[in-house]
Amino acid sequence: GQSLEQPSEVTAVEGAIVQINCTYQTSGFYGLSWYQQHDGGAPTFLSYNALDGLEETGRFSSFLSRSDSYGYLLLQELQMKDSASYFCAGHSGGYQKVTFGTGTKLQVIP
Amino acid sequence: KAGVTQTPRYLIKTRGQQVTLSCSPISGHRSVSWYQQTPGQGLQFLFEYFSETQRNKGNFPGRFSGRQFSNSRSEMNVSTLELGDSALYLCASSQWPAQGSTEAFFGQGTRLTVV
């Protein structure tokens, strides 16, 4: 089976930096994605890591360590609009089998 | 380029009935996945289709089924509805093979309420 664990809630101040962690247990793992979902909206893709290390996309960065079965999403220069739920998603198998993490609700406060 | 279209957006059904949900993927995308989202269980993978074949399946009972047509459009069916089936059902499309990207594009979902 597969499982991905995330903190359920995180609160951070506008303009600050926040890190959302994801630990996983999955067989046949080959990569980790991150998605953002605003209340009432559809999940939208943020990033994907297949290799160890940091991937940067604007204010968002994602990190993966396969040896530690761990990844994180780093959000810099937080804005109020970043308040949303964030999901890590583990990719496994030879096809598009995706297991989503438990989700982290981020609240950005002034 | 049109996004992923799911119909209907909202649905109310009675216990014991069956329901069919539809998903039209982004043009050119051949992989379609379905997810159930509930407040308590989060996003759970139902199944994934590619070229009219189910490639992957999640841990859901046989009441949940799906299919994909030659134009990549997909439907999922839930028979003998239970109150616990009330959820947001999301469809996601992606290119396959991954071609360097695993990005999935989600539709707005179908909100199913079973009463």
**Strand pairing class (A9-13; A104-109):** parallel
Range from A3-12, A50-59, A77-86, A90-99 carrying the lowest mean pLDDT: A90-99
A48 close contact with B: CB closer than 8 A: yes
Considering only CA atoms, which of A101, A54, A90 is closest in space to residue A73?
A: A54
For position B42, what pLDDT does the model report? 85
pLDDT at B104 over 60: yes
pLDDT at B99 over 80: no
Of A43, A95, A99, the CB nearest to B55: A95
Which residue of chain B is at minimal alpha-carbon distance from A31? B102
For position B75, what pLDDT does the model report? 98
The C-alpha angle B37, A65, A26, rounded to 5 degrees, equals 45
B44-96 pLDDT tens trace:
999 999 889 998 888 999 999 999 999 999 999 999 999 999 999 999 998 86
- For an interface test with B, the pick among A64, A88, A98 (most B C-beta atoms closer than 10 Å) comes out as A98
For position A95, what pLDDT does the model report? 52
CB contact under 8 A, B43 and A87: yes
